[in-house]
Structure 1
């Protein structure tokens, strides 16, 4: 849809005073929406080129496929054991 910007400006000039705040907020919303879409696209572009992130996702998918996943309790025990091992090494 093509909009004549001059006509749009003219319409804005004739908006009732009590509606101007809403129009102002809506224009701000549209600008923010466009900026967010641009940022999200940039993020996707960057993430799609991050080889380490892609490797981690592939490893995670592989771990899930082969059942190498922990439930909450197993994960907590694993971390507690790793902390204990680390602290033991520090005390040597």
Structure 2
């Protein structure tokens, strides 16, 4: 909304100029936080995918746990899902 003549002029001129607003994908950093855990192969897959799609982007993958193949199977077939094992 324009509140005065100067704002009206600024709005009118910006229609003719190619003004690009910043986009989240324009930043050189990508931070991903995985809740519940992540495996090493998943981290490598994410980093390789970002490297092929946007070269030069630094990826930081954070997680609440680092899962091993054994802990993944144990979590999938846990009998008591309301009381998960905390020894992961």
What is the TM-score of this pair, normalised by structure 2? 0.21
Q: Whose relative contact order is higher, 1 or 2, with alpha carbons under 8 Å and at least 6 apart?
A: 2
What is the TM-score of this pair, normalised by structure 1? 0.20
Q: Which has the larger radius of gyration?
A: 1
Higher helix proportion, which one?
1
